[in-house]
Each structure stands twice: as C-alpha cells, then as structure tokens.
Amino acid sequence: MAELQKSFRERDVQKEYEALVCGHLSPEINEGCIDLPLQRDHRFPPFMRVATPESEKEAKLVVQDLNHAGWKKIVKKNAKPSKTLFRVISREFVRATDQLKEVLPVTRLQLTPITGRTHQLRVHCAAIGHPILGDPTYGILGEASPNGGFEDRSLQSKMPCKATIDLQLKLDKYVKEENKCMCLHARKLSLNHPILGQEMIFEAPPLF
C-alpha cells in the first residue's frame, strides 16, 4: 500500500480523461497543449483560476486584508505551472428538449493532465472558451470566475470557435432539463504494480 501511495504522490501514474465540452473546437484544431498557470481564486475562494500578472498582484493585496489565517495561507500561495494535453475524439450534437428540438454542438475530448493541479482540467477548458458540459462551478452560471478567470485575445484568436454565451446558456438548460451530471470521466489509469513492477491498465468508458 505504501508503494502504491508513493506512485500517486510522485506522479508515476498516467491518467487519461474524457470530457464533453461546450461548442465545437475549430475544424483545424484537433490536438494541442493548454499551458496556463493556475492560482487560488482570491475573488471566489475556494475555487481556482488562471493566473495572470494582474490577478497575482491583486491576490497579494487581498491577502493583506484577510483576517482568517487559513485563507491567508491558501491565497498567498504562488501560481503553479499547469499543462493539459487535449485531443479531439469527435464533434457531436445533443438535442435540446424545447419545442424546436434544436441541436447543440459539443466536442468530445481526450484530456491528459501533465501536471495535477486542483480543478485543472475544468479551469483549462473554461479558459479556452469551451467549458465542460454540466460543470456547476466553472460553467456559464457557475460560482467561479467566468472563463476560468482568463481573458486573452491572442488565445481567443487561436480558438475562434469558442462557445458563445447563448450556446452555453442553452446547453446549461439542456443539462438541467435532462438531469445530466458533469461530463468529465477518468477513462484510463496506468501504473506499475507496487510489488511485481508490471504495468497495470484500468479502463472504463464514460456514460455520456
């Protein structure tokens, strides 16, 4: 058990996730790397957000006014490098339940975290303009900062087909009417046996 815990602690475990995100990624974008540092969101604790020079400066000012020692310790932590690889599995549609039976675009992604930050996949998807379908925190009406706290026109130009607010609202309505859960699933887990050293692979397909 100790060796198994060590594998997770030292990140010797490979994880692959599958997600449905709002909207279709641009046709020319089928894979890539989201390389955006993350920090604790000082405006909406205890959630996470993409770190920018402005947000880090603002967080330091906020820390000075915090009275709770625990929050102070959490918020004052420096932003951490965060990387997520993504690959488009398919571009799909879901059918809305209103009278028009409108079809709404979603993209099925394979997500591979290179780092293991809190809520990393959810914030990174929101930051590129394609939040995970049904995400109650980082989605369109979630409690965290919009777009994962990130607005960068240079990145938006690389993601010209980002999901519009109107589309995200329609998908949010669809999720609630269909009673859907957040569409993020740990599809594959690979690690070495703690005693025999042989590779073990565990796979489970998503239900969405």
Residue 49 located in a structural domain = no
| Residue 181: closest CA among 207, 160, 163, 159 | 207
Q: What is the pLDDT of residue 142?
A: 96
> Could you report the average pLDDT of every consecutive run of 10 residues in the chain (208 residues)?
54 89 96 97 92 90 64 70 98 82 94 97 97 98 95 70 94 94 96 85 95
Q: What is the pLDDT of residue 161?
A: 84
- Model confidence over 21-72: pLDDT tens digits? 999 999 999 999 999 999 999 889 889 999 999 999 988 887 666 655 555 5
* Contacts (Cβ under 8 Å, ≥6 apart) of 134: 175, 180, 181, 182, 183
Q: What is the pLDDT of residue 195?
A: 80
Q: What is the pLDDT of residue 144?
A: 97
The size of the chain, in residues, is 208
Q: Which domain range does residue 23 map to?
A: 2-36+82-203
Residue 171 located in a structural domain = yes
137 close to 95: Cβ distance less than 8 angstroms: no
Q: What are phi and psi of 3, to 5 degrees?
A: -65, -35
Residue 73 located in a structural domain = no
CATH number, position 9: 3.30.2350
Residue 56 located in a structural domain = no
Q: What is the pLDDT of residue 192?
A: 87
Per the structure, the count of domains in the chain is 1
Buried b (16+ CB within 10 A) or exposed e, 10-36: eeeeebbbbbbbbbbbeeebeeeebeb
Residue 65 located in a structural domain = no
Residue 53 located in a structural domain = no
* Contacts (Cβ under 8 Å, ≥6 apart) of 50: 36, 37, 38, 39, 123, 124, 127, 148, 149, 150
